[in-house]
């Protein structure tokens, strides 16, 4: 069953451009990637780095990057194959939450 690895509610999902994957963001502060054919998580562990609910996720047009927005006030750009944040933007004080990308 997709999304069962999240420890809290799922707030956002998006399909990869090729339709083979789904990215999800959760109130457990993680981002996870799932296979659309079998519903299993693609990677052993989640993308971690946010410190509050992940409210919005999206794949880049080429599918190699994932963008996530969180209630911690950050937007992170992830290298999807490496599961590493390649960029983080924070504007604490200007906008507390990132609900849409």
Tell me how far apart the terminal alpha carbons of the chain are, to the nearest angstrom. Answer: 26
Domains of the chain: 10-90 (2.40.10.480)
Query: What strands lie across the sheet with 31-35, from one edge to the other?
Result: 10-15, 21-26, 31-35
- Give the span between the Cα atoms of 98 and 9, in whole angstroms: 17
**Half-sphere exposure in the Cβ direction for 87 (13 Å, CA):** 6
* Predicted structure pTM score: 0.83
Pick out the chain residues at pLDDT < 50: 94
- Give the span between the Cα atoms of 13 and 68, in whole angstroms: 10
How many residues are recorded in the chain? 101
């Amino acid at each position: 069953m997709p999304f069962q690895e999240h420890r809290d509610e799922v707030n956002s999902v998006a399909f990869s451009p090729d339709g083979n994957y789904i990215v999800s963001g959760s109130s457990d502060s993680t981002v996870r990637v799932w296979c659309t054919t079998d519903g299993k998580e693609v990677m052993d562990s989640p993308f971690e780095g946010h410190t509050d609910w992940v409210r919005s996720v999206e794949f880049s047009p080429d599918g190699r990057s994932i963008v996530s927005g969180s209630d911690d006030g950050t937007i992170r750009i992830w290298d999807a194959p490496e599961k590493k944040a390649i960029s983080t933007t924070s504007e604490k004080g200007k906008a507390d939450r990132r609900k849409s990308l």
